[in-house]
Amino acid sequence: MGIEKDLSRIKQNLKGVRFNELERIILRGGYKRVNISGSHYVYKKGSKILTVVKSHGRHKHCHWLDVKDVIKILEED
């Protein structure tokens, strides 16, 4: 499945995206994980830096604003 298909699928339900799925899309977009600090994961591609908070506690899905930011950044590339 291409990154475009993945992005269109998660656009339909921003609140139902799990961290593993979001991370897979970020890595397929050419970003590399450069740092993990607690629940904050930092990815970098060239001069662009992307930070995503991994869900923790009783939450199963990523925050919808993080998902929206990832979609926006990946579509710009």
- What dihedral do alpha carbons 6, 72, 28, 1 form, nearest 10°? 20
- For residues 52-56, give the mean pLDDT: 92
Q: How far apart are CA 13 and CA 42, in angstroms?
A: 23
pLDDT, mean of residues 40-67:
93
Q: Could you tell me the domains of the chain? A: 3-76 (3.30.920.30)
For residue 14, give the amino acid letter. Answer: L
pLDDT range class, residue 4, cuts 50, 70, 90: confident
What is the band of 25 on the pLDDT scale with cuts at 50, 70, 90?
very high
pTM of the model: 0.88
Work out the average pLDDT over 46-54: 93
Q: What is the mean pLDDT of residues 21-34?
A: 94
